[in-house]
Structure 1
Amino acid sequence: MSSIIYKIVPALLWQEAKRSGRFDGAPVDLADGYVHFSTGEQVVETAARYFEGQEGLLLVAVDGDALGEELVYEPSRGGALFPHLYAPLFLSAVLWEKPLPLGADGAHIFPELDA
């Protein structure tokens, strides 16, 4: 399993995180008590299910190994193990961020991922 995990986040929310040096989560993360992530194999389906048609998103790649014991893989959609971070995401663990534009078909166009 790759140590790289991904977060889809609204660009405006991410700009706030960049100013503070940490990302505490989107509203769904705050409500659930952890920051939701996806693996490279899961993130396209995550975008289709939860971010359909949304513009102004970023894809953020994170070094999961840098997150320590607060990163837990737990069963979620269809029993698949999803990475959940029970702590703020400090930007020192971020590898890159890239726009996640919509294509003509309404689906998000992903950059090349490390699955």
Structure 2
Amino acid sequence: MSTSRKSIIEKFIIAVNDPKVPDLGQVLEDDVQKILNSKVVYNNIQEAREYYIKELDGESTSQWAIVECIPDDPKKNTLRARISHNNKTADTVYTFSPADKIQRIDVVN
């Protein structure tokens, strides 16, 4: 693993805070899936772009931020973090592909 998974999450957070939502392909797999409170929010990178653009178009000025990141476990393909957005903090588990891109995001508010 050439890049720490925490830095991948940091790049992802920077990207989703940009109103243009730049190339998410650097950090997300094409078949990325996000599950929020047991409901699928998006199933691929195009839906992810649309989701984050819509979130930024809303009236909220809140940005995503990393509150806490549990250190990488080299034996697992996941990283647990607490992410804040819109005055809420959520426990989030990121699952990584063999290419060290985010393949799944599980969020519990």
For normalisation by structure 2, the TM-score amounts to: 0.34
From the two aligned structures, give the one with the greater strand fraction.
2
Query: Which has the larger helix fraction?
Result: 1
Larger RCO (CA within 8 A; separation ≥ 6): 1
Q: What TM-score do the two structures reach when normalised by structure 1?
A: 0.33
